[in-house]
Amino acid sequence: MVVVSSEKLGYALDTAQQAIQAGQVVCLPTDTVYGIGADPFSYDAVTALLTAKSRTRAMPPPVLVSSVEQAQTLVAQLPDSARAVMAEFWPGALTVILPAREELGWDLGETFGTVAVRMPDDAVTLEFLRRVGPLAVTSANKTGQKPATDISRAVEQLSDAVAVYIDGGTSPGGVPSTIIRWNSADDSYEVLRQGALSREDLTRVIKLQESA
């Protein structure tokens, strides 16, 4: 286990990238709370991620991406309305669930053929995602305990289950992301969790896209 400061950004990202490539788990700052991430294409890495969290595959992790374009490499279809919402609110506290590409060949758990994608509003983590590609990420805490808003709380809960901790200072915390599930068949959507973004925010953007 190693803790590195994001002030030494190149070294921090290099160290974390080596851990991801070795199938290990890393801890990253985000725009809400600290998260732990792993290679979504590695069964063993996802298992290590879920084990660190004390979680089973019945609760699969979302996937963080660096852009709409990176998200598009993971999804089978991206409806215009979903793309419009991503363009408006990413990076930010919006998670979008869409059908996953069948050829991905990954096993995040019981996703029922979908993937939950989000682009976090954190410069350090976005740079890391541009380097290593999409990451399966969940909040940096044991299931049932409070998510960590600073690196010491993450280390206290997760210890050696995480190989590299990137210390980005105190995270903003606050309201979690809004989660939307899209039905590509009829371009309808369902708000599964209202978080930082309201239904009114989402409806406004979707109506503007539909009237364009």
Q: What is the 3-state secondary structure (H, E, C) of 1-12?
A: CEEEECCCHHHH
pLDDT, tens digit, for every residue of 106-118? 999 999 999 999 9
For β-strands 26-28 and 164-167, DSSP reports them as parallel
Q: Reply yes or no on domain 2-205 having CATH 1.10.645.10.
A: no
Kindly tell me if the per-residue pLDDT of 201 is higher than 70: yes
For 16, 126, 178, the CA distances from 27, given in Å and listed in that order, are: 9, 13, 22
Torsion angle defined by CA atoms of residues 31, 37, 42 and 47, in that order, rounded to the nearest 10 degrees: -130
Q: How confident is the model at residue 10 (pLDDT cuts 50, 70, 90)?
A: very high
Kindly tell me if the per-residue pLDDT of 45 is higher than 60: yes
The answer to whether the CB of 206 falls within 8 A of the CB of 81 is yes
The structure's pTM equals 0.93
Structure-token match 């590695």, residue found: 42
- The DSSP output letter for 109 is S
Query: Based on C-alpha coordinates, what's the Rg of the chain?
Result: 17
In this prediction, residues 4-19 reach a mean pLDDT of: 96
Six token digits for residue 45: 């890495």
Least confident of 21-30, 31-40, 149-158, 192-201: 192-201
Distance CA 3, CA 186 (A): 47
Residue 145: per-residue pLDDT = 93
Kindly tell me if the per-residue pLDDT of 211 is higher than 60: no
Kindly tell me if the per-residue pLDDT of 11 is higher than 70: yes
Q: What is the DSSP string of 110-171?
A: S-TTEEEEE--S-HHHHHHHHHH--EEEEESS-TTSPPPSSHHHHHHHHGGGSSEEEE-SS-
